[in-house]
């Protein structure tokens, strides 16, 4: 099985790659369109802002490549947000694969933005990506923008408001949290993705 990590400049690429190596998978890091199209599984990692993330994908000529993929694709953190239609962050048009608008968390007394740290997962819909995941299991988040819940939501979490923690539509999947930093829960979800 060939797994590729899209080299879109995300700072979490090394840690995602290492998490996959712990599962016995050596994922190639690439920005080559032909390599991405030929892979069995594609992972779009990302840490940073939506505008520069999309600018990098455009610069590499990967926007239409990613939109055209038919194999399982997993967006992680910013990578998940880039799968959506639009982000308030920098008023950015994204890939448009999940019909959702990414919004900044509303600041409130006692509510820190960015949302950072461990938080529980509430399963809203059965899906192979979540196989073996128990209600309330914890994952590690770092983000200021979030995808609202909708018919794309597999699991939700709460930080002053409910938001999508895991999403799926057709062959596109996303995890808002960092599976590579989420211990056994993250490893289980990465393994589930590899088995899709």
14: three-class secondary structure by DSSP: helix
Domain ranges of the chain: 3-195
pLDDT tens by residue, 178-191: 999 999 999 999 99
Query: What is the SS3 assignment for 96?
Result: coil
Three-state secondary-structure class, residue 39: coil
pLDDT at position 10, please? 64
- Distance between CA 142 and CA 134 in Å, rounded? 22
Tell me the pLDDT tens digit for each residue of 133-149: 999 999 999 999 999 99
Half-sphere exposure of residue 74, counting CA atoms within 13 Å on the CB side?
29
pLDDT digits (tens, 9 = 90+) for 102-132: 999 999 998 999 999 999 999 999 999 999 9
Q: Is the pTM of this model over 0.85?
A: yes
Place of tokens 């939501």: 153
Q: In the CATH scheme, what is the code of domain 3-195?
A: 3.40.50.880
Catalytic machinery residues: 77, 178, 180
Band (pLDDT 50/70/90 cuts) for residue 13 is confident
Name every residue whose Cβ is closer than 8 Å to that of residue 49 and which is 6 or more positions away in sequence: 78, 89, 90
């Amino acid at each position: 099985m060939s797994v590729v990590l899209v080299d879109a400049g995300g700072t979490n690429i090394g840690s995602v790659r290492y998490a996959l190596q712990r599962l016995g998978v050596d994922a190639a890091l690439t920005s080559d369109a032909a390599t991405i199209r030929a892979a069995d599984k594609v992972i779009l990692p990302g840490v940073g802002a939506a505008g520069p993330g999309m600018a990098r994908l455009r610069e590499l000529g990967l926007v239409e490549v990613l939109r055209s993929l038919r194999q399982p694709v997993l967006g992680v953190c910013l990578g998940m947000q880039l799968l959506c239609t639009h982000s308030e962050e920098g008023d950015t048009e994204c890939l448009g694969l999940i019909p959702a608008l990414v919004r900044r968390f509303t600041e409130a007394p006692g509510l820190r933005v960015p949302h950072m740290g461990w938080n529980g997962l509430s399963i809203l819909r059965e899906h192979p990506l979540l196989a073996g995941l128990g209600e309330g299991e914890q994952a590690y988040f770092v983000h200021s923008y979030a995808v609202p819940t909708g018919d794309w939501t597999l699991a939700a979490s709460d930080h002053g408001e409910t938001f999508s923690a895991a999403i799926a539509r057709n062959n596109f999947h996303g995890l808002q949290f960092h599976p590579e930093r989420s211990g056994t829960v993250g490893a289980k979800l990465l393994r589930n993705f590899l088995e899709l």
